[in-house]
């Protein structure tokens, strides 16, 4: 296949249709693995690279028509590849910088004895991120909602958010603005929409940070 034919096929599959992604990747590999692709880069590209690294400009002859037809495609391919690599590196860096989650078991009380799950807890710069993954907890009836709490051993509770589960058992993300070592227990209560601001006595689930994490 000639460079012009390869370029035409690449452009035809460049609309973002996921069905063509495999073919586009094959074309990218074909273009980048062809030695002729790299033999005659346009002088403006070489000048731009040299200027960026502070070595001045390049003096070169005008590229052949075949080389000129290849380079718009090569520039697009390389640009896309660089963007993908940058995204992967950025994502890996963020994941590596995040501290490991502390995961604790959540169990149902006699009010919801079929409920179980986990709470993943992670410190962040703005507070403690808490993710509940629960199964068996009934959706909160209309006019009520569930409320998460962190609870101290001295009997003080701080709300960490509300939810209802009427759309299914998806994960629930909550936030604590107080230190988990001071409030190591996590409770879920059932609250009336027109009820008081403090926690009700309808505790449906409980969990507790491991002692070595709460200390």
pLDDT at 97: 44
pLDDT at 211: 80
Angle at alpha carbon of residue 159, lines to 153 and 165, rounded to 5°: 120
Torsion (CA) 51, 55, 57, 62 in degrees, nearest 10: -100
pLDDT at 93: 42
pLDDT at 28: 65
pLDDT at 52: 55
* Spatial separation of the C-alpha atoms in residues 108 and 132, rounded to whole Å: 13
- Look up the pTM and report it: 0.55
pLDDT at 3: 56
Per the CB < 8 A criterion, the answer to whether 189 and 155 are in contact is: no
* Spatial separation of the C-alpha atoms in residues 39 and 71, rounded to whole Å: 11
The parts of the chain modelled with pLDDT lower than 50 are 15-16, 18, 58, 82, 84-97
* Spatial separation of the C-alpha atoms in residues 7 and 196, rounded to whole Å: 68
pLDDT at 195: 84
pLDDT at 91: 46
Q: Where in the chain is the domain with CATH 2.60.40.200?
A: 102-214
Output the CATH code of domain 102-214.
2.60.40.200
């Amino acid at each position: 296949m000639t460079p012009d034919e390869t370029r035409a096929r690449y452009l035809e599959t460049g609309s973002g249709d996921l069905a063509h992604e495999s073919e586009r990747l094959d074309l990218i590999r074909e273009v980048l693995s062809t030695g002729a692709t790299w033999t005659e880069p346009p002088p403006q590209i070489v000048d731009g690279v040299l200027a960026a690294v502070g070595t001045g400009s390049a003096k070169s002859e005008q590229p052949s028509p075949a080389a000129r037809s290849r380079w718009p495609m090569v520039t697009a391919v390389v640009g896309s590849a660089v963007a993908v690599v940058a995204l992967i590196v950025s994502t890996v860096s963020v994941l590596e910088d995040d501290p490991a989650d502390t995961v604790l078991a959540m169990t149902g009380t006699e009010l919801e004895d079929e409920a179980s799950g986990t709470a993943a807890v992670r410190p962040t710069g703005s507070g403690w991120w808490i993710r509940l993954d629960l199964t068996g907890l009934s959706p909160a009836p209309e006019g009520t909602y569930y409320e998460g709490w962190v609870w101290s051993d001295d009997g003080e509770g701080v709300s960490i958010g509300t939810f209802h589960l009427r759309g299914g058992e998806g994960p629930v993300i909550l936030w604590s603005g107080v230190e988990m070592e001071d409030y190591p227990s996590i409770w879920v209560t059932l609250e009336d929409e027109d009820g008081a601001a403090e926690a009700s006595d309808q505790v449906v689930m409980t969990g507790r940070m491991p002692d070595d994490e709460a200390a």
